[in-house]
Structure 1
């Protein structure tokens, strides 16, 4: 076990006690819930189905990766624009064709990786590339957290900012002061206390909770049952290429998990299995009426803070997600958690991911007096954090590669192209 993993509370294959298990799993479910249901709400899909497919998708991913990777699969933001367009033109059958095609691309690339092996990964992703990319993954999410922590219905509201900062403050306090079991669930406690603050400041609407039913079966969209499947080539052409974007982000998340857990998941259980897990999760989501899924940074942040890496905790979170997708009032109650609370929590979660990238650079003693290292890190950080994205096409045919994806590709390219020393350094 690596030096910075010696203080781990629960390792990947450790099982928590039953009472701890419930609290730790609920903490993960609360952390991913807001983003997972936001995507279907924006697109026009059923949030209950998205929650259900995220839970089943997570269990599929864990099964395919041999219970070795603690990752949670939630709704992907990368496909929002094309899915919104497809919902208007083709309805869900078109979206399903696109979501399933994304999963198929993952499986194809997983097959290629299985054939050629993973020895190339160490050469493409040394610490000088991995560290800045991991930092970008955390810091690129900062604007989302800041908006949640300041805006109400698109307008600045001081109450939102106050509640966000109070939520952040109590969560930091819980992290620093609590011991025992309570010390393992500071995020969950921070959300609960933040929610109470939000209620006191009038930011919570209980009407949807009162109106929802206790039991609500999601309106699944199943091929040959709810609709006749068809090859929607426009949906496939628009969405399938975006799999390359989420694959780069997937690899970035693996880098963070490698650092957190002291393992090399690219080699064991292997990148081919992690890609296959993501692909199977997306295909399942497309078959039941959900959006495409991807691994979630929020849950990685929770693991970084709590030092609990147990895959069984993630399995528990997945099972809670499946259960809650059928309990209308519970789902509505969690959906009533305002952005002020999730924004305050996200300041910490996303920041911890960024700090993990910084730790990679420090632990590997990266020398920034060398121009090569400085050029790589500088370019990756600014492009990724600033989200200098590449957009190809227009309208429903648009394909957008995020700043994180561009930064990842650029970092890999610069590492391969740049010489070990600059000309000026060679003369010294």
Structure 2
């Protein structure tokens, strides 16, 4: 061994730089990462742990070649909220594990048939409206929270004027930072919105922080083991359509940023497999499903931190943070109108992403076939349509996804090549 190389101070400086960059990446992902557990009632510390562990699983499957971070998926917020309320956390986690298994099945299909088969099953005319439905279904929850109401709108938890002051301060800050921020600041608008909302809450004397004082500094996250039942599995599986397609977009984005074709090497079949196994691992411990984070991709573009080892350190930082119990207690004490204000923008942005998917595809939406597909997906998904199959009910985002896939396969095309 060359002792000069072994003790080269430059190597340690580079490692320290990677550690700091990794912590910075976690900071960028922080706001979006904690939003899902806060809205769905899952444990925030578990979400930190499973985001880190899921990222490490993804890196293992993709042989550490893709500089990307995985954490809580927005697409599953509505079904998790419904699942936890209806069946409880363990059965909901079991259903989400099965949802991750669908990613694995898709990766296998791509491995043997190529990406074309997925694009034929899930073209933009299907995925665009389904993504729009996700944002539109969640919109009432955001507005109710912003107005100081309970999630179902039945109770006024705080005076409306106070709630609006909190929610609008958080919303306007998030908008201002996303539009006017520079450098890394522009990548953390959610975090800035939460921070300003909290300052306003403290100024108004809103919030009870006693739980933070009573919580020990360090504790093992409250992991939850899954249970399995067919009804929640069948309910949640269709929702996987939207994030599976979103995965394609995220891999294309990080490929563009780094100048490497990750669709070819390690291949979308392996990145999809890594995403699926990461989701299954996370949900097996009681965490939300994982997805690739576009915020972190933006940070990679800004910092030019193309080394995947940076994401390894981000994952390690997330796992270490999960054992700081006061962090979870603090997040749970954030007044709900603060989160409601930010959610208004986030869920609206999800809807716009779906709309943009349709626009970029260039489809004529007044063409009868396209009109039928888009119209039924959106109205079935948002309007409350449901179909009962024994004890199983198909509704909401799941119904929208199934409707889109079936209509696309069954309705005749004017041009067979479309």
Query: Which of the five TM-score ranges fits, normalised by the shorter chain?
Result: 0.7 to 0.9
Q: CA separation in 2, counterparts of 1:221 and 1:132?
A: 34
The 1:38/1:32 distance shift into structure 2, 3 A limit, reads same
The 1:268/1:150 distance shift into structure 2, 3 A limit, reads farther
Q: CA separation in 2, counterparts of 1:365 and 1:327?
A: 49
Tell me which of 190, 205, 218 is aligned to 1:187.
190
Structure 2 match to 1:205: 208
Residues 301 and 352 in structure 1, CA contact (< 8 A), matched pair in contact too? no
Structure 2 match to 1:148: 145
Return 62-71 or 258-267, whichever deviates more. Answer: 258-267
Match of 1:375, SS state, is helix
1:252 positional shift = 4.2
Tell me which of 65, 71, 74 is aligned to 1:73.
71
The 1:344/1:18 distance shift into structure 2, 3 A limit, reads farther
The 1:180/1:302 distance shift into structure 2, 3 A limit, reads closer
The 1:152/1:175 distance shift into structure 2, 3 A limit, reads same
The 1:248/1:121 distance shift into structure 2, 3 A limit, reads same
Return 399-408 or 18-27, whichever deviates more. Answer: 18-27
Q: CA separation in 1, counterparts of 2:350 and 2:299?
A: 9
Report the TM-score, using the length of structure 2 for normalisation: 0.74
Structure 1 match to 2:32: 31
What whole-Å deviation, never above 9, does each CA across 1:324-371 have from its counterpart, x for those lacking one? Answer: 221112222222222222222222222223222222333333223422
Structure 1 match to 2:240: 247
Q: CA separation in 2, counterparts of 1:403 and 1:344?
A: 23
Tell me which of 339, 349, 352 is aligned to 2:349.
352
2:293 corresponds to 1:293: no
Residues 143 and 340 in structure 2, CA contact (< 8 A), matched pair in contact too? yes
The 1:353/1:261 distance shift into structure 2, 3 A limit, reads farther
The 1:132/1:316 distance shift into structure 2, 3 A limit, reads farther
Return 320-329 or 310-319, whichever deviates more. Answer: 310-319
2:219 corresponds to 1:216: yes
Q: CA separation in 2, counterparts of 1:36 and 1:317?
A: 19
Match of 1:198, SS state, is helix
What whole-Å deviation, never above 9, does each CA across 1:212-233 have from its counterpart, x for those lacking one? Answer: 11111235568xxxxxx9xx7x
1:171 positional shift = 1.7
Tell me which of 321, 324, 328 is aligned to 2:325.
328
Q: CA separation in 1, counterparts of 2:330 and 2:262?
A: 36
Q: CA separation in 1, counterparts of 2:173 and 2:373?
A: 37
- Over the residues paired in the alignment, what is the CA RMSD in angstroms? 4.0
1:138 positional shift = 2.7
The 1:332/1:161 distance shift into structure 2, 3 A limit, reads same
The gaps in structure 1 that reach 5 residues or longer are: 1-15, 223-228, 423-428
The gaps in structure 2 that reach 5 residues or longer are: 1-16
Report the TM-score, using the length of structure 1 for normalisation: 0.72
1:33 positional shift = 0.8
Structure 1 match to 2:57: 60
Tell me which of 160, 166, 169 is aligned to 2:169.
166
1:265 positional shift = 8.2
Match of 2:183, SS state, is coil
1:97 positional shift = 6.3
1:55 positional shift = 2.8
Return 255-264 or 335-344, whichever deviates more. Answer: 255-264
Match of 1:368, SS state, is coil
Residues 370 and 421 in structure 1, CA contact (< 8 A), matched pair in contact too? no
